[in-house]
Structure 1
């Protein structure tokens, strides 16, 4: 990992002068997924989510990985070392970063349409970009993914949230088990 310090005053959607330059945060995440997804798959794991953000100590690249039965510290170390080598070759050396690899945890991100079916019956928090009935944040029971929408039971009322409008979705206090 690169440990040098640089000025990292870049906001979301602002072009960067480093990794895969010029690129937005979204483009960088897309490219990192392009490296990380096949790597995780080759190790028998699932790439759950990738985040890239600015923090006081520089850029943070966070990967959340999983596999049946859960992941171990060795799994995280394996992916971290291999991906770090790949990123070191493809990063502009002026772009300092820290790579963090971990399990999705109890607030597991939901990003793919199949995630909303896989965790049907679990409580989720969903944020959307365009208000729906004056609301952007929802918390309720996942009912699944249907025809481009995520259905959520919010206080006994079914809410259909357009998938394309979801900016963030996470399980709420997920304990790692599916079903009863």
Structure 2
């Protein structure tokens, strides 16, 4: 385990009970450079969706926790948000998006395309989607670069 992944796991473990006490789910924790600043992204969700008030309710106790455990040496910005169009990574991410529209991007073309949009029907050994023309596409996970929620306007 790398130093960064150990740090993220420590943050996740410490933050999980705080987020659960707020009746929210801790979806993911990421640490990345945004421009010239380091940012700690904490993605939280609720079954009925997140509001700005929910984000504010989660931010204050997370700030207190991070000040207490001090897991990151350099200056950084805490950003608490809903998962939005964050890529689906875990089985829980896929479960949460079952029967919802997703975009699947492939490493190599299939049927002359590298991107497909459809309702997520299955995941696991294969990722299956059904498009608006009722066509079913099945992808081997090793061929998939990314799967994201798909939002229409």
Q: TM-score when scaled to structure 2?
A: 0.72
Question: Are the counterparts in 2 of residues 151 and 161 from structure 1 also a CA contact under 8 Å?
Answer: no
| Structure 1 vs Structure 2 CA RMSD | 3.5
* 1:100 matched to 2:62: no
* 1:150 matched to 2:130: no
Higher helix share: 2
Aligned residues between the structures: 150
Q: TM-score when scaled to structure 1?
A: 0.63
Question: Are the counterparts in 2 of residues 124 and 171 from structure 1 also a CA contact under 8 Å?
Answer: yes
Residue in structure 1 matched with residue 59 of structure 2 by the alignment:
80
- Which structure 2 residues correspond to residues 10-159 of structure 1 after superposition, within 5 A? 23-24=3-4, 26-91=5-70, 94-105=73-84, 107-126=85-104, 138-141=115-118, 142-146=120-124, 148-153=125-130, 156-159=135-138
Consecutive unaligned residues in structure 1, runs of 5 or more: 1-12, 14-21, 176-180
Instruction: Tell me the distance in 2 between the aligned counterparts of 1:96 and 1:120.
Output: 38
Question: Are the counterparts in 2 of residues 65 and 104 from structure 1 also a CA contact under 8 Å?
Answer: yes
1:15-52 superposed Cα distances (whole Å, 9 cap, x missing partner)? xxxxxxx713x333333222222221121001223221
Shift of 1:67: 1.2
Shift of 1:149: 3.6
Instruction: Tell me the distance in 2 between the aligned counterparts of 1:58 and 1:171.
Output: 27
Shift of 1:93: 6.5
Instruction: Tell me the distance in 1 between the aligned counterparts of 2:128 and 2:21.
Output: 33
Instruction: Tell me the distance in 1 between the aligned counterparts of 2:20 and 2:88.
Output: 18
